[in-house]
């Protein structure tokens, strides 16, 4: 037996990994897919797969994509897919920060001062009006103000992170 050749199990795992990368590519919207640095043949097959409605045909097409990817360096493709996922983690972080700031502003007196000090471009008068409205008894106007306050804070945080 030739020990330099990988086992069948290892070969199957590698093929499955390539197919999973292919599935991730197929799941991407077309506009993002076209921006990725992919070999033309791979991009064409991924775009074809997006238009296949049947599961069996789609499965075979994914296997074919895996076969094409055997001859492609998948490292850069993996890196591009990870890069696409990263902004969503950054966005979640911003949303949590906005939520935290909103609570600090509504529940504390110093929250607004601290926020305006850190983000001077923010319209402090608008924030004051929204905070006062949020502190009122819960009604439809205060619910709207609660959402609007979150939006204003989110916009300020996003502008500062850019």
- Give dist(CA 30, CA 28) in Å, integer: 6
Residue from 22, 27, 48, 25 nearest 36 by CA:
25
Residue with the two structure tokens 């990725």: 36
- pTM for the predicted model, two decimal places: 0.55
Q: Which CATH architecture has domain 86-161?
A: Orthogonal Bundle (1.10)
For the chain, where do the domains classified as CATH 1.10.60 start and end?
8-72, 86-161
Beta strand residue intervals within 24-116, DSSP E = none
pLDDT per residue, tens digit, the chain (162 aa), is 556 788 999 988 988 998 899 999 999 998 888 888 899 999 999 999 989 988 889 989 999 998 999 888 889 998 888 888 876 777 888 889 999 999 988 887 788 888 888 888 888 888 888 888 888 776 767 778 888 989 999 888 888 766
- Give dist(CA 134, CA 25) in Å, integer: 44
CATH number of 8-72: 1.10.60
Dihedral, CA of residue 57, residue 67, residue 82 and residue 26, to nearest 10: -20
């Amino acid at each position: 037996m030739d020990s330099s050749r990988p086992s069948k199990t290892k070969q199957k795992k590698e093929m499955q990994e390539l197919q999973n990368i292919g599935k991730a590519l197929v799941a991407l919207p077309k506009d993002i897919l076209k921006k990725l640095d992919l070999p033309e043949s791979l991009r064409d097959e991924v775009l074809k797969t997006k238009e296949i409605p049947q599961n069996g045909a789609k499965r075979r097409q994914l296997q074919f994509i895996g076969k094409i990817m055997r001859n492609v360096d998948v490292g850069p493709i993996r890196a591009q897919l990870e890069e696409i996922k990263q902004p969503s983690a950054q966005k979640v972080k911003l949303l949590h920060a906005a939520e935290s700031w909103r609570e600090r502003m509504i529940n504390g007196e110093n929250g607004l001062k601290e926020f305006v000090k850190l983000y001077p471009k923010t319209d402090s008068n608008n924030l004051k009006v929204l905070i006062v409205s949020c502190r009122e008894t819960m009604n439809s106007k205060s619910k709207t103000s609660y959402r609007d306050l979150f939006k204003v804070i989110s916009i300020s945080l996003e502008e500062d992170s850019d």
